[in-house]
Structure 1
Amino acid sequence: MKFLTIILVLLTLNLSWGDNMAKWILIWSDEFNYNGLPDPSKWNFETEGNAWGWGNGEEQFYTDSRTQNAIVEDGILKIIALKERMEGKEYTSARINTKGKGEWLYGRFEAKIKLPSGRGIWPAFWMMPAKNFYGPWPKSGEIDIMEMFGWYNPYNVYSTIHTEKFNHKIGTHKQEFYYDPKIHSEFNIYAVEWFEDRLDFYFNTNKIFTYRKEASDSSLWPFDKPFYIILNNAVGGDWCRQHGGIGNTVFPQVLYVDYVRVYKLDDGKPKSIDIKINGKGKVKSNINTNNLKFGEDVVLTAIPEEGYRFVGWYGDLYSKSETIKFKIYQNTRILANFVPVDEIIDNGNFIAGLSEWEYWVDNNYGGADFKLLNDGLEINIWKKAKYDWQIQLTTPIELEKEYKYVLNFKAYSKSGKFILRAGFNQRKEPWKSYYSKKFEIDKESKEYSLEFLMQEENDPYCRVEFDLGEHTGKIIIESVSVKKIKI
């Protein structure tokens, strides 16, 4: 029957879901017309957050490719929470996503779902950024299309957005709910329609929430970069424990998903691709990148000049492959990034935002804000830390024995003398420091450098680290480069 359903959807686009339903075109879906694990060409199992409770103190262990927790049968995806002990947790479940396999900027995203029930249950259909362009959560945004909290008004379904200014950690998140006592016994359609200037959330045909772009400010609107889809069925968590805990919830509890679909809006206008190049190289296209038809096939190939290498496509889509193939559905901005062959940092000039970078602030001792500029990164340390390493900016690298590493960067201070430490450290316990050096930064933009010879065994878990917690003030860091030289 679902094969017929998909044909009917394509043939009846004159029906209206939202304001523009007559022009929504289906471009991706999983109808779950197969048996076994979720389709690996579309879905990943997500497990890395098990070690830290996914930031919410969750009580389940998410498994990988285990049909007891995620299985497709009878045309339905079932994500199953079980009461069973595994890896120190009392429950198991599954969390799947489309990262690297399906990432989109704008469109209609919907799923037909029947929800589980019980005090400890926390199912969700949501979206996260493909890259942390504006920084780690919540700076790069989060779109929660549907959540249900079994311990809190369990017949309500919630739609929520999180940004730097609006997020639950500071109690400012933007959220609305819809009440329906049949959400646990019947399938319902949960959707968001994502435009350049707003997000419209739906429960079936009921619009329950609109979040509007009020300014071109990523702290308010980070929703101009690609996101991917997540489905999960969580158990417990910090908030659940504040409301009495899991209690006598009966397991198993199953999240039933009939389908997941992605649509794009065809406005009838020709499309174009704006290609920019960073570094030395060129882009070859199979087609004129102007006056393109909706859904037309595009093939782009990045060709580096001699002495350079291609590191990735950024902008309205992401890929590390030199050749990318996609269909054009909207005006698209793409950056092809090339760096010298001996450069081992892919995004040292922050041309791709904070992709490939991480920062950390020990809020118990220090305070800092990080802001992207056109040509670098501004760090405002408004509270000095106890130790310099309690405010960090890092990017991962690997260190090989008998290679010399040369770190160069430009920096200047907006507030007088500033001391920072730069060096090469491990990015996991025991957090060994291989080599570091302190630099005194003043108001004049200058280039700074340090060299380090790796004489120990290879270490793939390292990073370039800037420790910034010794002073208050504003500092700008630009043009970070690490060259690797064989001795």
Structure 2
Amino acid sequence: MSFRNLIQRFKTNSSGSSTFPHDRDSTAETTFWRPSFDPSRPVSLEWEHKLGHGEGGWGNNELQSYTSSPDNSFHTSDGKLVLRAIQSRDGATPTSSRLVSRTRLTHPRGHLFATLTLPCATGIWPAFWLLPSEPFTWPGEGEVDIAETWNGSGENHSCLHWGFYTAEDAGKHRSVKTSVKGMGSRPLRFDFYWDAPAKRLVWVMEGRPVMRTSLPGGLRPMEEWNILLNVAMGGNVCEGQVPQEGAYDLVVHEISMSKIEPKAIDRFWSKAVEGKTL
């Protein structure tokens, strides 16, 4: 193998994208939250279960009813957190899980990461995202989407929203769509960095900075946001597609939050692209 090819191999990850070091500078970070997925510990210790159909199918005409049942969220014997969406053959209401972290982002500067295996199938919409702590006003106080895909598209959507989907609010959205080889068949790492004093947000996927945007005014302070994990089924985003009978697992291999130092995200900011408006 030539030196040039060796360097290219180092720079390219399994999804075919350039990679950059993202979490090796431990001196710049102090971890303050890393939940245990020990099967002897209840999921509810670290996460609040959201329940039911939500208003208007959680605002998207989704099909599932969220439960706190261990059928829909549980820790495995090998230390993973699983959110399971279930579509039954008998016509019963589909069930799934929607979890909200009991720990907030806490600091004005920080780094959140998770390694996830996402279910990719028609009518299935898994998400790893952020919302302000309740009560909040949506969308004005903001929404951050870190890992999000639907209908088995093999594409991840990195997003910031603080407006409605109207012509008037077209400038209140930032997003980047990233194609991922083998999405749904392997664990993927997602990182999100925030630096509120510098008004900078950066999304990193598989070690590659994929999006950046300036923090707009009017959003809830970043310290007051929570982490969400869920698997939605059907509805507007899935364009009315319904999943086939079966179980669809969002597997969380690890998740962690750290406090970071000023300018810690500068190396990602310079390599990321600006999020696009509607």
- Shorter chain as denominator, the TM-score bin is 0.7 to 0.9
1:438-477 equivalent positions in 2, closer than 5 A: none
Deviation readout 1:235-288 (Å, 9 max, x if unpaired)? 11123235xx126x35211111111100111459xxxxxxxxxxxxxxxxxxxx
| Alignment match, 1:358 | none
Deviation readout 1:323-361 (Å, 9 max, x if unpaired)? xxxxxxxxxxxxxxxxxxxxxxxxxxxxxxxxxxxxxxx
SS of 1:54's equivalent in the other structure is helix
Deviation (angstroms), 1:35: 4.3
Deviation (angstroms), 1:71: 1.0
SS of 1:260's equivalent in the other structure is strand
Cα gap change, 1:89/1:163 in structure 2, threshold over 3 Å: closer, same or farther? Answer: farther
| Alignment match, 2:67 | 63
Deviation (angstroms), 1:49: 4.9
1:53-452 equivalent positions in 2, closer than 5 A: 53-64=57-68, 66-73=69-76, 74-84=78-88, 90-99=93-102, 101-105=103-107, 106-132=109-135, 136-150=137-151, 154-164=153-163, 167-168=164-165, 172=170, 173-196=173-196, 197-213=199-215, 217-218=217-218, 221-241=219-239, 245-246=241-242, 249-266=244-261
Cα gap change, 1:163/1:128 in structure 2, threshold over 3 Å: closer, same or farther? Answer: same
Q: Is the 8 A contact 1:146 1:190 kept in 2?
A: yes
Cα gap change, 1:59/1:36 in structure 2, threshold over 3 Å: closer, same or farther? Answer: farther
How far apart are the structure 2 equivalents of 1:48 and 1:193? 32
How far apart are the structure 1 equivalents of 2:146 and 2:178? 12
How far apart are the structure 1 equivalents of 2:52 and 2:87? 20
Cα gap change, 1:246/1:131 in structure 2, threshold over 3 Å: closer, same or farther? Answer: closer
| Alignment match, 1:271 | none
Quick check: 24-33 or 115-124, which moved more? 24-33
Deviation readout 1:407-460 (Å, 9 max, x if unpaired)? xxxxxxxxxxxxxxxxxxxxxxxxxxxxxxxxxxxxxxxxxxxxxxxxxxxxxx
How far apart are the structure 2 equivalents of 1:71 and 1:60? 18
Deviation readout 1:21-79 (Å, 9 max, x if unpaired)? 650221101241334641x3311101155353111111001012x11111111211111
How far apart are the structure 2 equivalents of 1:32 and 1:143? 24
Cα gap change, 1:224/1:113 in structure 2, threshold over 3 Å: closer, same or farther? Answer: closer
Matched to 1:29, the amino acid is R
Q: Sequence identity, in percent? A: 24
Structure-1-length-normalised TM-score: 0.45
How far apart are the structure 1 equivalents of 2:176 and 2:23? 17
Q: Which of the two has greater strand per residue?
A: 1
How far apart are the structure 2 equivalents of 1:138 and 1:110? 24
SS of 1:56's equivalent in the other structure is helix
Matched to 1:120, the amino acid is G
Greater relative CO (CA pairs within 8 A, separation 6+) = 2
Deviation readout 1:173-212 (Å, 9 max, x if unpaired)? 2111221122211111111101111110011211100011
SS of 1:239's equivalent in the other structure is coil
How far apart are the structure 1 equivalents of 2:119 and 2:131? 23
How far apart are the structure 2 equivalents of 1:16 and 1:251? 38
How far apart are the structure 1 equivalents of 2:30 and 2:183? 27
Cα gap change, 1:84/1:27 in structure 2, threshold over 3 Å: closer, same or farther? Answer: same
Larger-Rg structure: 1
Q: Is the 8 A contact 2:125 2:238 kept in 1?
A: no
SS of 2:242's equivalent in the other structure is coil
Q: Is the 8 A contact 1:35 1:71 kept in 2?
A: no
How far apart are the structure 2 equivalents of 1:225 and 1:60? 30
- The correspondence for 1:23, drawn from 28, 35, 53, is 28
Deviation (angstroms), 1:168: 3.6
How far apart are the structure 2 equivalents of 1:168 and 1:128? 17
SS of 1:128's equivalent in the other structure is strand
| Alignment match, 1:293 | none
Cα gap change, 1:89/1:223 in structure 2, threshold over 3 Å: closer, same or farther? Answer: farther
Deviation (angstroms), 1:158: 0.9
Matched to 1:77, the amino acid is L
Structure-2-length-normalised TM-score: 0.76
